[in-house]
Structure formats: structure tokens, C-alpha cells
Amino acid sequence: MDTREKELVKREEVSGDFDPTDYVSERLYAPAPDGVRVPISIVYRQGTERSGANHLVLYGYGSETVDAAFDHKVLSLLDRGFIYAIAHVRGGDEMGSQWEEDGRGLKKRNTFTDFIAAAEFLIGESYTNPDRLFAHGVSSGGLLMGAVANMRPDLFKGIVAQVPSVDVLTFFMSEGAGSGWDDEKEALYRYMLTYSPYQNVEAKNYPNMLVTSAVHDTQVPYWAPAKWVAKLRALKTDDNVLLLQMNMEGEHGGSSGRLQRWKEVAFLYAFILDLAGIAE
């Protein structure tokens, strides 16, 4: 610590001609509606211009820490000209315990408005534009995807919601209400009613969407994403793609086995790349 010298002791191996100096990472801050600065971790290939014409995948979770760690899967997108970003929205604890508390309970909407603020910032700073911006979330991040799809569908070309928790009211009534009802639970129920994705689907245009689920998922029952997609299909007024992929063998974390996991990643990326018009 005195000399601040660093010694490399281990590095994750990446096959092919990978060179870490070919990529640039940054930490940005997007202004939220209440003035809070929302951190964004972003990575792209050297030489990428901020012309507003870049395809960009914005990932969000909002229930626990999402570290900006190296992820070799993302190289597949970066090498095709994509920018990849993580919005460290409130509800996670990247910025401490208060950051987490400010995205829970009666402050949960901060998670969604933070993500929207990050998307608007990246568009405003010419990293991308709404016709080239994709959102991605898993589980609680799927709740985030469902909420922003209802709140600001105009911001995104496509949304990928993996095993999304989109009917929080039913979950709350079956698991969170406990024995008895009181004013606190009533207030929370009324608040959740303002953002629960399933209950807030409307007759309007939605982005292209890929929704995944699993029959053996014990955390997000398969019927929740399935009925959400059914309601979207019944009410949405656009001709955009809306796919429901039902995993008949895997669980909440997807299928087991190295090859199966890669196939799932390939399917998600193929959905995004097809919408981006990239065939190779």
C-alpha cells in the first residue's frame, strides 16, 4: 500500500486473440429525478465514437450488489460494436446500506426511475439512441424490466426479462401479508399496485420483448411470466416481437451444464443481434 505497486497474480483465461487493451471502461453518473447521481459502469471497444448510433445493452438488477466485474460473455457483444452498461440503481447496495434502503418498500419506485434516468442519460450523451438501446434484467431485475416497459416503453428497442418477478402483488398476498392486515401492509399494497408489472399492462405500444421462464422455478413460478406475456399479447397495440421461452428442465438459475448455459446465452444474444440487424 505504501508504494501503490500492483502485481498480477491471476487472470481469467480467454480463448482467441483477446487483448484487454482493446477495451475501455468508464464510470458515469446519471442524474435521477430527485437529484441523486446514479452510477453507471460502461465498457466498449477502443475507437468507439459517441455518435448516438451505437447499439447498447443496459443491465439492471436493483435488489443486491451488481459488481462491474470482468465477464467474458460480454466480449461477444463488444466485438460486434455494442456498448455494455450496468446501471447501479437504488435497491442494490453498491453505494452502501442507505442506497439499498432507498430502493425498497415504499421507495421501490426509485429503482425503476433510476434505470430510466440511466437510459435517458446514455441517450442524451450520445452513447446510443432509443432505436438501438436494449434493456436486460434477471429475476428481481425482471421486475425492473416489467416496470420500465410499462413506464417508458419508448426508450428501448428491445427488452430481455429472464425469469421475471412480475406479479409482486400476488406474491405479497401469499407470502408477505402474514397473519393479519394492518395500515402498514395496506400502504405497501397500495404502493405496489402502482408499479407491479402485471397489473399495470396497458393498451399501448411496447418494445420487442423476450421473456424467459422455467417450469421448475421455485423462486418465480412459471405462471407469473406466462400470464404477464398473455396479458401483453392481449393488450399491446404494436406488431413488435413478444417471445416467451419456457425452459422445461431448468430452474431459476437456468439449465445446468456448461454447454446448456452457453446455449441460453447464445439464444438471448441472438434475439438482441437479430433486432440490431447483425447476422454475423
Question: Does 170 have pLDDT greater than 90?
Answer: no
- Which of 41, 139, 140, 213 is catalytic? The answer is 139
Share of the chain above pLDDT 90, in %: 71
- Which of 102, 114, 167, 217 is catalytic? The answer is 217
Question: Does 166 have pLDDT greater than 80?
Answer: yes
Reply yes or no on whether 217 is catalytic: yes
Question: Does 64 have pLDDT greater than 90?
Answer: no
Reply yes or no on whether 165 is catalytic: no
What are the structural domains of the chain?
A: 20-276 (3.40.50.1820)
Average pLDDT score over residue span 165-182: 79
Reply yes or no on whether 252 is catalytic: yes
Asked if residues 71 and 136 have their Cβ atoms less than 8 Å apart, the reply is no
Q: What is the pLDDT of residue 256?
A: 60
Three cell numbers written together for 166: 412480475
At residue 36 the predicted structure's pLDDT band, cuts being 50, 70 and 90, is: very high
Condensed to tens digits (0 to 9), the pLDDT of residues 199-238 reads 999 999 999 999 998 887 777 888 899 999 999 999 999 9
Condensed to tens digits (0 to 9), the pLDDT of residues 125-141 reads 999 999 999 999 999 99
Condensed to tens digits (0 to 9), the pLDDT of residues 66-75 reads 888 888 899 9
Q: What is the pLDDT of residue 254?
A: 56
Average pLDDT score over residue span 161-166: 92
Question: Does 253 have pLDDT greater than 60?
Answer: no
Average pLDDT score over residue span 244-251: 75
Q: What is the pLDDT of residue 128?
A: 98
Poorest-pLDDT segment among 2-6, 34-38, 244-248: 244-248
pTM to 2 decimal places: 0.92
Which has the higher per-residue pLDDT, 253 or 129? 129
